[in-house]
């Protein structure tokens, strides 16, 4: 029995369609209330479940936000503590250095002051007084000569004596002035030294003042972080994302360095471990080269950790200084040895390449041509060996961006997780509302399909109502005004 | 607690397994290695072509890597014999030793090419059977038989070859420098028929058949 056999109740397709429509409309009209309830329940179930899920996701998002904030603040607090600690260490070093010299400085300044005082005392000596007999000479000079040759001779003698005495006094005065000038000249370096020392003291004090300002700024940031202000969180978040990108960039550079290092030692590794064995599709020589590079990076991490430059392994940082120094030296010795091995492998690589080139040339030329050696080949060899030795130490510094990357990755992942949770929450709410309004739409569409029975029902209801009103009107006189009825 | 124990056990077992795999891989057959067997026809006038064979051998030597195997054998009256292998080697895993082996190999070939004498008959089938035996022993992942010959098989009376199937599954057979004989010039169908016969025999045995007559372009010779 085909579909058409069932469909064609009467020979006419249109008439059959109409019959089916009427039948279905009647059936749907009969099932209207349960159908409406079913649609409404379904849409409500979906809407509520979506709303509940969205609430759960919102709670997770809030928790994640709080967690991100806590982590960010903890990281920021730690960083600020480190900065403040470092500033205090610097101040401590400055104070130790300068204040340790203070007694010596004080003694030097005192000595300089004493010397200056002595010099000053020496320089203030009174100039020699004019001779006491000057007044007597003046009196004699007032005696009138009147052509008396005796008096004239006496006066002439006095004049000569006075000139000589005047010259002697003048000479003595000059000598005294010269000596005082010499003393004053000798004071100059003392003044300069005093001035220099005071400038140094001034510089040290200024440096301390600058440090104290820097500490004030860090302390302010630290207080903000401890209080958990939004500004602190925003600043830390922005700083963390910047750090993430910067450290990722530096790590990418380091990966490039590691790749070059790998190429440098992978070929000669075949000479040690063979070039044919494979593990999971990778040649053992390549794996061995990679392991050496990874061990170098690990040693670099330990070295940086033991130097307390990074804090990826708190266990190493918490060790006592003797043990920490032991780890530091062990890591350095391993690194140095591996760098030496790499330099040797780089040299071997050059030898192997030369050997391979010689063999290829021999095979190309049927053994007739001699291999011409390049006299500048040692430059390439030396460069390769240098790179082989230096790159392991350069890779040591990967620890610093790696630490930044790991710390900032936590924040970036947290921000991403919050974004994803928000998107999920929005999607769930959208789906819930869609379900709710789709339910309403389905009810309306259902009613649209059975518009004819509904119309008939409406007619019946209206006529019944009118009849009932007519009966009521006949039974009771109208006591309520039409206006009051309308308002009711 | 139990999970932690399992986790710790896994941490211990994993490196051990990795080490076991690393150790076992040295003895296991390595599928990436190549095995090449070159048959050189030394019959009749074909000995004049042997200088060309030297180029093929040098090219092959320069393209093989550590771990690969290479053998050169002559095709004479009865080629199904180890005595016909001129020189053979499996290159060491260390590149420096491998280069040294290549130089020694080339020296052996030079000596052979100086002293070679022409044979009265041509037993190509016997040579291919010997090649299969040798390459199977090497355990190479990719096996190639190079046949440097005019492909005209001339068997001594009593030698049975045509009824023996060639088990060439996984093999590439490359005919090199297939020269045309005087009779081929009279009737080219002979030459084409010879090539077709060999192609059919190789492909029936499960092998891949190729012909390379232009020895200026040997790049495709060892294509896997």
Query: What are the pLDDT digits (tens) for B138-194?
Result: 888 899 999 988 888 888 777 877 778 888 888 999 998 888 877 777 888 888 988
Cα B209 to the center of its chain, rounded Å? 13
Is residue B19 scored above 70 in pLDDT?
no
Is residue A261 scored above 60 in pLDDT?
yes
Angle of the A321-364 helix axis to the A230-273 helix axis, nearest 10:
50
- Residue A230 tokens read as 């939004």
- Mean pLDDT (chain B, rounded): 81
Distance from C-alpha of A284 to C-alpha of A295, rounded to nearest angstrom = 16
pLDDT of residue B11: 46
Is B32's CB within 8 Å of A278's CB?
Answer: yes
- Residue A252 tokens read as 């990418």
pLDDT-derived band at B214 (thresholds 50, 70, 90) equals confident
pLDDT-derived band at A127 (thresholds 50, 70, 90) equals low
Distance from CA of A411 to the nearest CA of B (A): 28
pLDDT of residue B173: 92
Mark residue A147 as left, alpha or beta (left: phi above 0; alpha: psi -120 to 50; beta: remaining). Answer: left
Residue burial A249-271, b: 16+ Cβ < 10 Å; e: rest: ebeeebeebbeebbebbbbbbbb
Mutate to test the interface with B, among A291, A363, A369, A371 (most CBs of B within 10 A): A363
How many beta carbons lie within 10 A of that of residue A392, not counting itself?
Answer: 28
Beta-strand runs (E) in A418-469: none
Closest residue by Cα to residue A295 from A395, A385, A389, A386: A395
The percent of residues in chain A predicted with pLDDT above 90, rounded, is: 32
Mean pLDDT check: name the lowest of A5-19, A216-230, B11-25, B179-193: B11-25
How many beta carbons lie within 10 A of that of residue B192, not counting itself?
Answer: 11
CB B145 within 8 A of CB B171: yes
Q: Residues A189-193: contacts with CB within 8 Å, 24+ apart? A: A190/A112, A190/A115, A190/A116, A190/A119, A191/A116, A193/A108, A193/A112
Mark residue A281 as left, alpha or beta (left: phi above 0; alpha: psi -120 to 50; beta: remaining). Answer: left
Is residue B29 scored above 70 in pLDDT?
no
Kindly state the DSSP code that residue B141 receives in the 8-state scheme: S
Alpha-helical segments (H) within chain B: 2-27, 50-63, 95-115, 124-138, 182-186, 188-204
- Mean pLDDT (chain A, rounded): 84
Sequence spans of domains, chain A: 101-227, 234-397
What tens digit of pLDDT does each residue of A453-485 get?
A: 899 889 999 998 888 888 877 776 555 555 455
Is residue A328 scored above 90 in pLDDT?
yes
CB B71 within 8 A of CB B85: yes
pLDDT-derived band at A486 (thresholds 50, 70, 90) equals low
In sequence order, what are the beta bridge partners of B172? B144, B208
pLDDT of residue B120: 81
How many Cα atoms occupy the beta-carbon half-sphere of A188 within 13 Å? 5
Is residue B7 scored above 50 in pLDDT?
no
Distance from C-alpha of B144 to C-alpha of B221, rounded to nearest angstrom = 9
pLDDT of residue B158: 79
Mutate to test the interface with B, among A275, A287, A291, A360 (most CBs of B within 10 A): A275
Provide mean pLDDT across the span A19-35: 91
- Give the H/E segment covering residue A269: helix A230-273
Is residue A105 scored above 70 in pLDDT?
yes
Is residue B12 scored above 50 in pLDDT?
no
Its ipTM equals: 0.71
Closest residue by Cα to residue A415 from A223, A220, A245: A245
What tens digit of pLDDT does each residue of A360-393 get?
A: 888 876 545 555 566 777 888 899 899 999 999 9
Mean pLDDT check: name the lowest of A138-142, A233-237, A299-303, A394-398: A138-142
Alpha-helical segments (H) within A365-398: 377-396
Q: Which of A271, A356, A359 sits opposite B94 (nearest CB)?
A: A271
Most confident of A24-38, A184-198, A474-488, B107-121: A24-38
The CA-based angle A189-A195-A201, given to 5 degrees, is: 140
Distance from CA of B77 to the nearest CA of A (A): 29
Is residue B55 scored above 70 in pLDDT?
yes
Distance from C-alpha of A202 to C-alpha of A196, rounded to nearest angstrom = 10
In sequence order, what are the beta bridge partners of B71? B37, B88
pLDDT of residue B8: 47
CB B102 within 8 A of CB B133: no
Residues of B in contact with A351 (CB under 8 A): 96
pLDDT-derived band at A437 (thresholds 50, 70, 90) equals very high
Is residue B10 scored above 70 in pLDDT?
no
Closest residue by Cα to residue B215 from B166, B178, B161, B182: B178
Is residue A315 scored above 60 in pLDDT?
yes
Is residue A415 scored above 60 in pLDDT?
yes
* This prediction's pTM: 0.62
Distance from C-alpha of A224 to C-alpha of A398, rounded to nearest angstrom = 32
Distance from CA of B95 to the nearest CA of A (A): 6
CB B34 within 8 A of CB B224: yes
Interface A-B: count of C-beta contacts within 8 A: 68
Most confident of A118-122, A154-158, A315-319: A315-319
- Residue A451 tokens read as 């518009």
Mutate to test the interface with B, among A359, A365, A368, A371 (most CBs of B within 10 A): A359
């Amino acid at each position: 029995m085909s579909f058409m056999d069932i469909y064609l109740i009467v020979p006419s397709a249109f008439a059959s369609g109409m019959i089916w429509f009427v039948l279905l409309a009647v059936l749907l009209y009969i099932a209207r209330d349960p159908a409406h309830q079913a649609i409404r329940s379904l849409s409500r179930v979906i809407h509520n479940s979506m709303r509940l899920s969205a609430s759960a996701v919102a709670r997770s998002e809030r928790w994640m936000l709080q967690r991100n904030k806590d982590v960010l603040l903890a990281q920021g607090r730690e960083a600020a503590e480190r900065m403040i600690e470092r500033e205090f260490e610097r101040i401590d070093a400055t104070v130790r250095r300068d204040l340790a010299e203070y007694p010596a400085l004080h003694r030097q300044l005192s000595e300089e002051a004493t010397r200056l005082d002595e010099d000053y005392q020496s320089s203030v000596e009174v100039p020699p007084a004019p001779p006491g007999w000057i007044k007597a000479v003046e009196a004699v000079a007032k005696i009138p000569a009147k052509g008396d040759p005796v008096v004239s001779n006496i006066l002439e003698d006095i004049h000569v004596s006075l000139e000589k005495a005047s010259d002697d006094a003048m000479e003595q005065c000059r000598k005294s002035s010269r000596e005082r000038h010499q003393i004053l000249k000798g004071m100059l370096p003392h003044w300069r030294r005093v001035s220099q020392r005071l400038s140094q003291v001034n510089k040290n004090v200024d440096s301390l003042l600058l440090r104290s300002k820097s500490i004030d700024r860090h302390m302010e940031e630290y207080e903000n972080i401890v209080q958990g202000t939004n500004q602190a969180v925003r600043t830390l978040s922005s700083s963390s994302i910047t750090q993430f990108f910067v450290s990722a960039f530096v790590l990418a550079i380091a990966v490039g360095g590691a790749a070059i290092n790998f190429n440098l030692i992978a070929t000669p590794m075949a000479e040690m471990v063979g070039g044919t064995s494979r593990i999971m599709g990778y040649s053992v020589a390549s794996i061995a080269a990679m392991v050496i590079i990874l061990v170098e990076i690990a040693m670099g991490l330990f070295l940086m950790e033991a130097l307390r430059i990074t804090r990826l392994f708190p266990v190493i940082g918490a060790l006592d200084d003797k043990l920490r120094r032991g780890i530091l030296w062990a890591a350095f010795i391993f690194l140095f040895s591996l760098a030496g091995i790499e330099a040797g492998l780089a040299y071997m690589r050059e030898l192997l390449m030369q050997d391979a080139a010689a063999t290829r040339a021999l095979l190309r030329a049927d053994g007739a041509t001699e291999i011409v050696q390049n006299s500048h080949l040692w430059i390439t060899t030396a460069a390769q060996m240098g790179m082989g030795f230096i790159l392991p130490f350069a890779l040591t510094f990967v620890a610093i961006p790696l630490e930044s990357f790991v710390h900032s990755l936590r924040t970036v992942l947290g921000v991403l997780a919050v974004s994803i949770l928000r998107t999920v929450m929005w999607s769930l709410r959208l789906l819930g509302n869609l379900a709710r309004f789709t339910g309403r739409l389905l009810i309306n569409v259902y009613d649209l399909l059975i518009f004819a029975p509904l119309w008939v029902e409406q007619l019946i209801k209206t006529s019944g109502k009118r009849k009932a009103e007519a009966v009521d009107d006949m039974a009771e006189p109208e006591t309520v005004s039409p206006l009051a009825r309308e308002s009711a | 607690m139990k999970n932690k124990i399992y986790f710790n056990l896994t941490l211990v077992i994993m490196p051990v397994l990795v080490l076991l795999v690393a150790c076992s891989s040295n003895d296991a057959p390595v599928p990436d290695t190549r095995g090449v067997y070159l048959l050189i026809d030394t019959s009749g006038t074909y000995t004049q072509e042997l200088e060309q064979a030297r180029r093929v051998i040098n090219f092959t030597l320069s393209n093989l890597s550590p771990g690969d195997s290479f053998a050169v054998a002559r095709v004479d009256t009865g080629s199904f014999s180890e005595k016909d292998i001129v020189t053979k080697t499996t290159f060491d895993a260390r590149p420096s030793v491998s280069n040294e082996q290549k130089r020694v190999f080339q020296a052996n070939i030079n000596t052979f090419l100086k002293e070679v004498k022409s044979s009265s008959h041509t037993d190509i089938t016997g040579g291919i059977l010997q090649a299969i035996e040798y390459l199977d022993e090497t355990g190479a992942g990719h096996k190639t038989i190079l046949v440097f010959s005019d492909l005209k098989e001339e068997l001594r009376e009593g030698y049975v070859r045509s009824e023996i199937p060639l088990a060439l599954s996984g093999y590439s057979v490359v005919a090199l420098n297939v020269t045309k004989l005087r009779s081929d010039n009279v009737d080219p169908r002979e030459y084409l028929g010879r090539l077709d016969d060999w192609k059919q025999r190789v492909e029936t045995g499960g092998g891949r058949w190729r012909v390379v007559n232009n020895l200026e372009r040997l790049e495709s010779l060892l294509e896997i």
